[in-house]
Structure 1
Amino acid sequence: MTSPLRIRVLASLPLLALVAAPLTAQTLPPGPARSAPVPLENWLHRGSDIPADPAWTMGILPNGLRYAVRRNATPPGTVAIRLRIDAGALMEAEDEQGWAHLLEHMAFRGTPTRPDGEAVKLWQRLGASFGSDSNASTTYRATTYMLDLPRNDAGSLDEAVGTLADMMQNAAVDPRLLDIERNVVLAERAARLTPLVTKVRDATRDVMQAGLLASRRELAGTPATLAGATAERLRAFHRRWYRPERAVMVVTGDMDPAAMVDRITAQFGGWKGTGAAPSEPAYGSPVEPASRIAMVSDANASAGMQLAWVTPHVAGRMTAERQRAEYLDSIALMVLNQRFVEQARKGGAMLSAGAGVSRQRSLSDTVSLGVNVRGAQWQAALTEAYGVLNRALAGPIGRAEIGQQVASMADGLRRSIETSKTWPSATIANGLVSDVDTDDVSPTRQYYADLFAAQKPAITPAAVNAALKTMFAPRPRFLIVSPTPVQGGEAAVAAALETARKAEGGAVAAVRTVTLDMVSPPLTPGRVMRERPIAEFGIDRVTFANGVELAMKKTDFARESIGVEVRIGTGQTGRPVDTQLPDWSSGVLLASGIGAATPPELARLAAGRQIGFSLATRTDATVLSGGTNPRDVGDLLRIMVAVAKRPTIDPIMVERFRASYAASVRSIFGQPQSVLAVFALPVLYGNDKRFTVLPPARAVAGTDAAAIKAHWTRVLGEGPVRVSVVGDFDRDAVIRAVAATFGALPPRPAPPLKIQPVPPLPTAKPLILNHRGDPTQAIVAVNWRTLGGLGDLPASRALNIATAIIQDRLTDDFREKQGGTYSPFVSQDELRGFDDFGMLMAGAQLTPDRMAAFRSTLDAIIADLAANGPAADDLLRAKETAIGAAQRALAGNSYWSAILAGDLDDPRRIASMRTYISGRRAITATDVRDVVRKYLANGKPLVVEVRPAPAGALPVVEVPAPTKP
């Protein structure tokens, strides 16, 4: 969603994602005992001929715990901690399904020495917010606890590591708390396992995972197996699998590695497993399934197919030989995917297709091909997809095709050498945990680039063709998903698959080689009229003769990385009230090429360059944004200005959008989160059509290519242009690049005035939305109108602290005490450019019968804060996490990009930057109490409820009459 009034709800899972998607919860806890570690050893590289990165300090404690520690000063003063336990869903017995994930939750519910919730509160006092900085996840193979600490002093690190150690060794598993947390886990399960996801999982289990233990394990468990988890049995599960020899501790950050090793030794060295070590489960191996066809029909589903070629996983550490083989596979799939793009542009039954490979330890290696289908034309789409595949398998593969993909991969590896020097500690820590998960190793980025460079001569057409033949050699397994049952059933699908496998691919279309000058002819550079630096913050401001403004902030947070944003016009607020325009067609614009250059031609031009970007219409501007590097920043701006100067709309792309529109609408109604996100937002803007997320079907059907082109020609051709550049760049080079592109355009027509939307009026009854998903699930969201960010900055910051406190108290009360939801959400958002338009939303996904309980809990929290203000510890924890987040933001490019996107001529913005940290420190309990009184306790909220649609009824939106102000 492009609006700043974001609705923060749980994301839905894509089809088949449950197989590998982690289940997340929370995090924490301790116990000393010290013993000297064994000599340092890079245990991760055992059995590999790939050299280890010397930046890592690795070793094994006498009790078997492995550790990996690395100094990294990005962001400065922060430390990322990960603790991976080799215990996931595959370690569960038949009647223990879901217990690894349930235990992950219970680890946060206290130990004999730390009461329930104290670990989270301790970390909050250290500045780590729950959910984003402290969390955990469970997969088939492991449970990983995560903590991103915004402090690196010895005391904070001792507290954090000690708490985590206590949690791993001494989880209490209190029976009373277990009963509550079980409800939370069931709520999480319901939120993630939508009816469609459940259908796909059940239909594909015996087809895609035949022979594997994973086919008989549910990561989320079942209501029956979760009900069977008593405190005693869950403790036994903990004793069995939570053992030091099954633990890996990863720490990266701004700290002394030797001191951290001492700290790990002190806190974890006395940890001892209870009883004999468990044996590894029999993970199984892929076997021929009884049927190779899986079928799912669901009214909320888009028409699509997935083919899978399954082989046993190659076990063992990564070696140079295996890495070269994976490079070759990647190039082969990149060539194939480019051909799928070219085929889809012909406007046939296949809307899009893409192939990829997944290599999962203890599971299988799977090459998959996903195909999106136009309407009910699945047989024709399947034949088209196989035509492309068979043509590639038959060969020959063109050297130019290979060269394009080799250049792209080489450039990515080259850039990673520089960018890795400033990777955030969390990224590095997550990377090493992933290496452990996949039996990979962790060499330097230079090693990967050198290995690929040496391999390039061997990436020949014959080698690529051989790689494709190997990957697609097994007999395929097939999943078809459709909104209605397939006529003829499984027999018809199997026959269609065998017919499609014999399809002959046509000749590969010749792709011209286009140059940048052909796509974006050189312009006469514009002249710089004035420069207005804001020296206090290192911001450069340049205005060109045509009125285009350039704002730059040079940083060293991310080497070789530059963010570019071009803001054009005045966005949705610059239009007449209640006007709906085809902003939904931005994807059509970007998929249509530039002028006479087609997307495949542009893809070849872009090979080895970072010149891709996105386009979105936001409330205050139409925005082109992309990430690039010092070498390509000028070319990125040339491509951007070419799109802005001459928007191109391909009628075939318009038809593709129309073909996928109905399916997209169906999928929205499949879960309450997406219904809330799509249909509640316009209501929060007073039902102003300018802010409609989903266009009506008649608008999509009635808007042709000419109308779409006229729309984007006008939108991109009028109003001010502001270019912002943040990152690792050369100042003079950026000025020259902007002068030769947007600074060279003719003067712009005057922009329309911005018109603030009308705020929603409260209603006596809730706004009712319906969904067609799980009938046991609903969402309630309570919305109060607040204020804009610069209108009253202290009040805005106090509201943000109040938001954090309300979130924390809802989590503590409605989730942790009542077990009423998995994840309550509270957000405070403001409409850029208007001082008195903001919205605070508080809500939760829950069962319909818990809506009243949620409202009651929320009302009690608001009433208490309005009467008494926050308790001292509540305020301290909310402020420390806000300050920690602010400090990290200042050390990243995203903050500065947001700053440059605002009005730098407004003195209030400069004041907000000066007080970014101090203003948060200054917030008092009285400040919080006062804003809660003014905006929440005395405000009249608009309540939105997303309920299951009555059986047999279509989803509807009921908008009650507003109450009089």
Structure 2
Amino acid sequence: MNNRNKILVFGMTALMVVNAPSYAQKKPVAAKKPVQATSKTAGTLIPNDPNVKIGKLPNGLTYYIRKNTEPKNRAELYLATRIGSLMEEDNQQGLAHFTEHMAFNGTKDFPKNDMINYLQKAGVRFGADLNAYTGFDQTVYQLPIPTDSAMVFKNGFKILANWAGKVIMDGEEIDKERGVIIEEDRQRGKNAQERMSKQLLPLLLKGSRYENRIPIGKIDILQTFTHDKIRNFYKDWYRPNLQAIIAVGDFDVNEVEQLIKANFSELTNPANPKPRLKYDLPDNKEPLIKIITDPEQAYNVAQIMYKQRGSVSKTTADYKKKLMYSMINSMLGARLQEILQKGTAPFIFAQTNYGPYQGGLVSGINALQTTVAAKSAATLEQAFSAALAENERMSKYGFVQSELDVAKKNIIAGSEKQFKEKDKTPSSSFVQQYLNNFLTSSPIPSIDFVYGETQKAVGSITLAEVNALVKTLITKDNQIIIIQAPEKDKAALPTEAQMLAAVKNAGSGVAAYVDNSVNKPLLEKKPVAGKIVNETKPDAIGVTELTLSNGIKVLLKPTDFKNDQIIFSSFSKGGTSLATDQNFQSVQMVSLIPESGVGAFNPTQLDKLLAGNTGRGGAYIDDLYQGFSGSASPKDLETAFQMVYAYATDPRKDAEIFNKNIDDYKVVLANKNANPTSVFSDTVQAVLSSYHKRAMPMTLEDLSKVSLNEAFAFYKDRFADASEQTFVIVGNFDINTIKPLIETYIASLPALNKKQNYADNGVRSPKGKISKTVYKGLEDKASVELYIHGDYDFNELNNTQLEALKAALEIKILERLREKESGVYSPRVSLSVQKYPDAHYYFNISFSCATANVEKLVAASLDEVSKIRTSGATADDISKFKSEEQRQVELSLRNNGFWLGYISSRLKNGESFDQILNYKKTLDAVSVESTKAAAQKYLTDENYIRLVLMPQK
């Protein structure tokens, strides 16, 4: 298994661990008027889309029904409830979420696991398709289901009705599920983020019911509550007047309405229903501030929030203001990105956004939220002040017209794309609108209305209006300031007084922003076009192959799956495998070359140049290949091809951007060992590659050897000869129309006509049995990675047998470790296969658990492997595998991304294009006996790797 070092992505803004946006509640209070609302700017009410049928049963249950044929023969069925952890009594904390779990553990019409078994046999995947979540004020069940089977489709509504009012709450099942939920808490938490969140929540939710109603609940209550507590919760709150059915898909609307009436009319409300109260998050006049440190926190992060009251956008005036907020976010974000590219940037991460408070933590509360990460504790105050200065620059001087023009063009382009795809909009896209309408009374505008109103609103928005709105974002009250930092840096952190002073003095001396746009075309002149020298139609999947005068092959697959989408990628052999041992460290950072922009344009300037244009193209270099990729609306395809030509012939060598990225990466490498997961990940990477020097995690010493000149030279060399590139283009295009663009920008790419290949540098996983335990971490949490791997004959039949084994093993591991042992939350079984540079397969079983259960659960996992090796997969599990595979193929066949990947993979691996046409025949070859034979050959203990992360001793 080849592993490459990848630059870590900062996730500094994830301060909370909650499942969904929800209301903060404690006691009833009078509703407060939204700020900035005036009768003069009220606008007109946004009308609901006439294509959705909205109704209500006599018992109060609401329903939303919409016919939509993308994807065909599929429907999205949802049960939405205005029920969450805020409804819990003190002795029920965690039981709203627990109830959601119990809905899958036995109902009146589907005892035990019958529901999951039934749906899996219908091709519905548990977790990936069938799922649910619980938040503070909502619990939502989702069921994507086929409609081409009348019985399965009808039973989908029976399942929703069972969730809504017929969950059994068997005592034995309740007790078995306790461990699963405790393991869910362990899997998601027991880390620095959770520990810091526990200190932050009293500050972020001060004075609200939220503070004591985190959805996961309290562990002591989950372990000890009596069965009547959860049964009472279900009886009190799962009632039709708090529920809605959402059905969107390829079906008859009247038939669905009758199914809803037949299945849900019998549900009743309690005689004396508990009131569902609304609550509010109190204001704070003085700033609230908190400095939190943790031994496993990797970075020095500061954040400020300016809370404001918001309201649901119900009028055209509200919608116009929403667009202006979106413009403000994009313009300020562009400014911060521009600073981040400079060597003088005082932060390694910076983000400012106006929107829902903490991602929707408290309904009805918005905030301007700024987050920065500094290189060290000593520079945190400087980084914080620099980000605040940009807020103040915006507030004092506003934006300039050229910035607003860019933001407007991008909004119009997005709206146009949505409008052009209106008849190809997936059903899942409509569900969230209807869910928001049920939960918050937000409107359901049609795509036509949104398009027309966006054009109108964007056209009327002036710079003066936007700059007036930005002055309302920074408030003197409702401020919250937070620092999160490594424990070791505690002494060097700024004090609370210093942070408050930074806020008070923010922006003193700032000047107005100066736009640095480059006013020139992407290409100074069109390249000298090449020619198409040959054209064939080699297969039965609708592909046309062109051979160009420079040797490049282009495979074209026109489709009608999307109205406004063309995607493409290319490849030729080589990649970073051709790096020498001397320049390998530099080559590992070669991705920074295309990330630095192209030609005369740095990334910020390039974004401004391409405002309103959907055409995008870029270059990549991975382990074995180099090539190009991109996407565009049909009207902008020329721009995407121009970018390909530019990245091939005029890459940008920007020392400032390159060195700034290297300096930031040094901070990442210097701090990453504080995080147990990072340490464990590095160990997994090292062990799986047999500690080969070309596959080891990058170190600070490696980074010190990185040279821009070497990385740039390698990039230039890899794209100096495009003669062996193969392009695959998929989407809504006319072959005759696209040919001139291909000749101009693809057939003109440089060609030296060399024969090239990648190098096999001997990176291999270790043979035999390997066991390694890493001791890192403060809490009772273990992570387990088990690998069974080996060499094999890479072909379609073997790969399908391996997939069947993987599916069967995944079912058994879930049943054993979660349902029977109650020892894990979501164990994962994965399979990866590769043909080059060596044909190899990897089965991986992974889970987290209590440290005391590691040996028991590893043994249970290997026992399930042994059972499959002895007897093969069961007929039942094979049936589930075949159904799920068939359903996924049906969806994939109408997906541009699938075809791009499928054609590219067949070409790279030298396989026939007609595999997909024969997939049913290949599936038919899977049987109990075939999986037994495959398991005995591939699920052996000959090459077995056991890796475990345990808390430090």
TM-score (normalised: structure 1): 0.89
Write the distance in 2 (CA, Å) between the matches of 1:201 and 1:709: 43
CA contact (8 A) 2:790 2:841 kept: yes
| Equivalent residues, number | 918
Q: Does 1:910 align with 2:913?
A: yes
Write the distance in 1 (CA, Å) between the matches of 2:714 and 2:469: 46
Shift of 1:779: 1.6
Q: 1:915 to 1:4 in 2, by over 3 A?
A: farther
Shift of 1:803: 0.6
Q: Does 1:926 align with 2:929?
A: yes
Counterpart pick for 2:111 among 109, 115, 120: 115
Query: 1:202 matched to which residue of 2?
Result: 198
Q: 1:666 to 1:104 in 2, by over 3 A?
A: farther
**CA displacement, residues 745-780 of structure 1 (integer Å, 9 cap, x when unaligned):** 2214432344275532245441334443x5212222
- Percent identity between the two aligned chains: 20
Q: 1:179 to 1:481 in 2, by over 3 A?
A: same
Q: Which moved more, 1:712-721 or 1:257-266?
A: 712-721
Query: 2:611 matched to which residue of 1?
Result: 607
Other structure's SS at 2:124 match:
coil
Other structure's SS at 1:511 match:
coil
Other structure's SS at 2:367 match:
strand
Write the distance in 2 (CA, Å) between the matches of 1:848 and 1:461: 59
Query: 2:643 matched to which residue of 1?
Result: 639
AA of the residue aligned to 1:594: V
Q: Does 1:90 align with 2:86?
A: yes
AA of the residue aligned to 1:273: N
Counterpart pick for 2:446 among 436, 444, 447: 444
Other structure's SS at 2:158 match:
helix
Other structure's SS at 1:884 match:
helix
Q: Map 1:320-359 onto structure 2 (within 5 A).
A: 320-346=316-342, 347-359=344-356
**CA displacement, residues 544-570 of structure 1 (integer Å, 9 cap, x when unaligned):** 111222122222222212222232443
Query: 1:276 matched to which residue of 2?
Result: 272
Query: 2:468 matched to which residue of 1?
Result: 466
Query: 1:598 matched to which residue of 2?
Result: 602
Query: 1:742 matched to which residue of 2?
Result: 746
Shift of 1:584: 4.8
Q: 1:573 to 1:79 in 2, by over 3 A?
A: farther
Q: 1:429 to 1:875 in 2, by over 3 A?
A: same
Query: 1:823 matched to which residue of 2?
Result: 826
**CA displacement, residues 468-521 of structure 1 (integer Å, 9 cap, x when unaligned):** 111223443212222221546643443442354243323423323433344x64
**CA displacement, residues 672-711 of structure 1 (integer Å, 9 cap, x when unaligned):** 655555542453344344444x422112222132233223
Write the distance in 2 (CA, Å) between the matches of 1:326 and 1:396: 18
Write the distance in 2 (CA, Å) between the matches of 1:419 and 1:381: 43
Write the distance in 2 (CA, Å) between the matches of 1:501 and 1:927: 69
Query: 1:799 matched to which residue of 2?
Result: 802
Q: 1:576 to 1:344 in 2, by over 3 A?
A: closer
Write the distance in 2 (CA, Å) between the matches of 1:113 and 1:5: 51
CA contact (8 A) 1:305 1:481 kept: yes
Counterpart pick for 1:516 among 504, 517, 521: 521
Q: 1:214 to 1:736 in 2, by over 3 A?
A: farther
Query: 1:43 matched to which residue of 2?
Result: none
**CA displacement, residues 337-367 of structure 1 (integer Å, 9 cap, x when unaligned):** 2222223333221234222233346351122
Counterpart pick for 1:305 among 295, 302, 307: 302
Q: 1:150 to 1:894 in 2, by over 3 A?
A: farther
Write the distance in 2 (CA, Å) between the matches of 1:313 and 1:863: 57
**CA displacement, residues 722-750 of structure 1 (integer Å, 9 cap, x when unaligned):** 22222222323333333222321221443
Query: 1:15 matched to which residue of 2?
Result: 14
Q: 1:921 to 1:462 in 2, by over 3 A?
A: same
Query: 1:372 matched to which residue of 2?
Result: 373
Query: 1:28 matched to which residue of 2?
Result: none
AA of the residue aligned to 1:783: Y
AA of the residue aligned to 2:519: V
TM-score (normalised: structure 2): 0.90
CA contact (8 A) 1:207 1:289 kept: no
Q: 1:126 to 1:5 in 2, by over 3 A?
A: farther
Q: 1:705 to 1:578 in 2, by over 3 A?
A: closer
Write the distance in 2 (CA, Å) between the matches of 1:670 and 1:423: 44
AA of the residue aligned to 2:849: L
Write the distance in 1 (CA, Å) between the matches of 2:882 and 2:351: 46
AA of the residue aligned to 1:560: D
CA contact (8 A) 1:22 1:137 kept: no
Q: 1:153 to 1:764 in 2, by over 3 A?
A: closer
Query: 2:26 matched to which residue of 1?
Result: none
Write the distance in 2 (CA, Å) between the matches of 1:939 and 1:511: 61
Other structure's SS at 1:608 match:
coil
Q: 1:5 to 1:584 in 2, by over 3 A?
A: closer
**CA displacement, residues 637-687 of structure 1 (integer Å, 9 cap, x when unaligned):** 211331232332422223332333244346755666555555424533443
Shift of 1:192: 1.5
AA of the residue aligned to 1:702: K
Write the distance in 1 (CA, Å) between the matches of 2:587 and 2:62: 52
Query: 2:756 matched to which residue of 1?
Result: 751
Q: 1:818 to 1:929 in 2, by over 3 A?
A: same
CA contact (8 A) 2:776 2:949 kept: yes
Other structure's SS at 1:873 match:
helix
Write the distance in 2 (CA, Å) between the matches of 1:263 and 1:15: 41
| Root-mean-square deviation (Å) | 2.9
Q: Map 1:99-114 onto structure 2 (within 5 A).
A: 99-114=95-110
Query: 1:33 matched to which residue of 2?
Result: none
Q: Does 1:138 align with 2:134?
A: yes
Query: 1:709 matched to which residue of 2?
Result: 712
Q: Which moved more, 1:560-569 or 1:655-664?
A: 655-664
Q: 1:855 to 1:75 in 2, by over 3 A?
A: same
Write the distance in 1 (CA, Å) between the matches of 2:480 and 2:155: 51
CA contact (8 A) 2:66 2:247 kept: yes
Other structure's SS at 2:750 match:
coil
Query: 2:858 matched to which residue of 1?
Result: 855
Write the distance in 1 (CA, Å) between the matches of 2:247 and 2:12: 30
AA of the residue aligned to 2:864: I
Write the distance in 2 (CA, Å) between the matches of 1:577 and 1:652: 26
Q: 1:656 to 1:240 in 2, by over 3 A?
A: farther
Query: 1:176 matched to which residue of 2?
Result: 172
Q: Does 1:422 align with 2:424?
A: yes
Other structure's SS at 1:783 match:
strand
Q: Map 1:570-719 onto structure 2 (within 5 A).
A: 570-573=574-577, 580-582=584-586, 584-585=588-589, 588-612=592-616, 616-665=620-669, 669=673, 674-692=678-696, 694-718=697-721
Write the distance in 2 (CA, Å) between the matches of 1:104 and 1:859: 30
Other structure's SS at 2:471 match:
helix
Q: Which moved more, 1:540-549 or 1:197-206?
A: 197-206
Q: Does 1:482 align with 2:485?
A: yes
**CA displacement, residues 427-477 of structure 1 (integer Å, 9 cap, x when unaligned):** 332443245445422212221222122223432221111111112234432
Query: 2:535 matched to which residue of 1?
Result: 531
Q: 1:152 to 1:582 in 2, by over 3 A?
A: farther
Shift of 1:421: 2.2
Shift of 1:320: 1.7
Counterpart pick for 2:188 among 179, 187, 192: 192
Write the distance in 2 (CA, Å) between the matches of 1:734 and 1:292: 59
Write the distance in 1 (CA, Å) between the matches of 2:79 and 2:438: 11
Query: 2:887 matched to which residue of 1?
Result: 884
Shift of 1:535: 4.3
Other structure's SS at 2:373 match:
strand
**CA displacement, residues 895-951 of structure 1 (integer Å, 9 cap, x when unaligned):** 20112212439774324222223312331111111111101136431222222333x
**CA displacement, residues 85-142 of structure 1 (integer Å, 9 cap, x when unaligned):** 1111222233322221111111111024422111111100110011101111112221
Query: 2:410 matched to which residue of 1?
Result: 408
Shift of 1:311: 1.5
